[in-house]
Structure 1
């Protein structure tokens, strides 16, 4: 079984959520967080969650998981339906209508797919909460992460920021990434059937034939046999032309705006930094594994820096999943549209238990 060839880029009320008991801080690793000016802020140890022991995980999808019709199921659950109403006010148009009715081309755009997936994934949490035993499942979750965009969803789930603040960030993120993509001719392609070392050699071979503006790199370490490469269009074309000689099973050009998770996205970083700087971010109540370094972070300022650098950094999803599984993860839940993450998890461990909660 192989995982999907699609690229996945990437406050619910905390009432009823189980909270971690206070942990002792290693003062050698403590530094001050500056969320507000003029008030004394408790020191936050960024290594608070380093020794986490995962049991049950919530996994949130990213760009590429969207599909026309998503959100329809959420309308049967008042708390889930309410999220779309709140989203419409922030977006300034009927996001739910686009989710349910499309058109597909509009929903697939970076500026719309990212907020649509964010809202639909958090609506899936409310669908789960409403079913018998759902709150118990939510209470049992002790680690979470999301694929690129999904990292924002995971942070909202843990109370690191409000639903509204998260949606505003995701909206801006989608717009900034679209603008950065429009500024240069770039693209992405999935390489199917090679390990990461061979994909790197394929990239090296392609880079020998193009100028600096068209260089390529691995941008998304999804799972064994599926890696996404980003870069200039000529570099991507060189990758596609050489892939068979490297014994790749196939290549799939991705329907995205441009070379995500590379330096092509540099113009988006300053806009994200400004928005994140103006957003209140709190320590997550459970570990949220970062796409940048496959580690959990507790310090709000560190989380802000990680999120700003995430758009230009390769997605370390393969390492994240391997780490969770090696640490003894028992069950995962994929919340939101699509079943791509389930395919990745099963690719890495056929015996892994994972359940999809759609909306």
Structure 2
């Protein structure tokens, strides 16, 4: 089988101006994308992002999108990237929709801003007691025993993501978060971060309907020009309907990175460019074990920009 290359736009982690602002100011690819973004939105993204103190604000989300696409631009122009397959787990699917040719860049920027506001308004009065917690190195049999006991006690949970063996995202009532963290520690695991608002759980079907009616359903979405891998189950996205379904599934279905990895392997992918300000997907075992990973992030780009010719 022919050896192929994939571009992966990572899911979003906590981000702020102090960590990526210098890249955005200095990098020519970022500056070009920011200029288009400012024109589309009618305000200065850098100014709004600088003033934001929320790791998941509207402006932080747009900045993450812009940086991911700009880094892919850099990978093509400076690194010779020629991707055959595209993937974007969680938030990364927005950049993937653009890169694969399903949506115009300006539309993706507008959609990202509108979805951020849609989610903010939804979680202002819905599921206000739910958080999504990420953790690693937990034996899954012991975790299931804990979750079964939680269910017997009348507790609620939902798996919001599976990134590798023993590496999960779990949505749970905020009142049980301390108990969950202690249980993870007792199992020999390590708690990473907690997301507020939460993500990727079946009980957010109301958010899915609201997003479809008020945002996504209003945009022109075309069939991708290259294969895209859906982050919920690793299926290939090849039609406009498939693309819209993937964008909507993100609200009420968990991400499954190992399933995406399996499809990438089946597709003949050997090299993977991960373009975005992240340090997660490139580090998990199922990624490092199966691919030659080329990381294109703001820190690496800045080293290039600041190195004398």
TM range (shorter): 0.7 to 0.9
Identify the residue that residue 89 of structure 2 maps to in structure 1: 147
Identify the residue that residue 210 of structure 2 maps to in structure 1: 271
SS at match of 1:307: helix
Contact 2:221–2:240, Cα closer than 8 Å, also in 1: yes
| CA drift at 1:111 | 2.6
Deviations 1:282-328 (A, max 9, x none): 11111111112211122212321231122111111121123323544
| Unaligned stretches of 5+ residues in structure 2 | 299-309
* Distance in 2, Cα, partners of 1:209 & 1:253: 25
Identify the residue that residue 129 of structure 1 maps to in structure 2: 76
Contact 1:191–1:199, Cα closer than 8 Å, also in 2: no
1:240-319 to 2 correspondences below 5 Å: 240-245=181-186, 247-254=187-194, 256-274=195-213, 275-319=215-259
| CA drift at 1:78 | 4.2
Identify the residue that residue 175 of structure 1 maps to in structure 2: 117
- Change over 3 Å in CA distance of 1:150–1:351 after alignment to 2: closer
* Distance in 2, Cα, partners of 1:216 & 1:53: 42
Identify the residue that residue 94 of structure 1 maps to in structure 2: 44
Find out whether 1:66 has 2:15 as its counterpart: yes
Contact 1:337–1:358, Cα closer than 8 Å, also in 2: yes
Find out whether 1:187 has 2:134 as its counterpart: no
Identify the residue that residue 302 of structure 2 maps to in structure 1: none
* Distance in 2, Cα, partners of 1:191 & 1:224: 11
Find out whether 1:159 has 2:101 as its counterpart: yes
Find out whether 1:353 has 2:298 as its counterpart: no
1:15-94 to 2 correspondences below 5 Å: 55-64=4-13, 66-68=15-17, 69-70=19-20, 72-76=22-26, 78-94=28-44
Find out whether 1:224 has 2:171 as its counterpart: no
| CA drift at 1:53 | 7.2
Identify the residue that residue 306 of structure 2 maps to in structure 1: none
| CA drift at 1:124 | 0.9
Find out whether 1:209 has 2:153 as its counterpart: yes
SS at match of 1:294: coil
* Distance in 1, Cα, partners of 2:42 & 2:152: 46
| CA drift at 1:263 | 3.3
| CA drift at 1:154 | 0.8
Find out whether 1:112 has 2:59 as its counterpart: yes
| CA drift at 1:198 | 4.0
Contact 2:14–2:56, Cα closer than 8 Å, also in 1: no
Q: Point out the structure with the larger helix share.
A: 2
> For the aligned residues, what is the CA RMSD?
2.6
| CA drift at 1:114 | 2.1
Contact 1:330–1:353, Cα closer than 8 Å, also in 2: yes
Deviations 1:20-40 (A, max 9, x none): xxxxxxxxxxxxxxxxxxxxx
Alignment: residue pair count: 294
Q: TM-score, normalised by structure 2?
A: 0.84
| Unaligned stretches of 5+ residues in structure 1 | 1-51
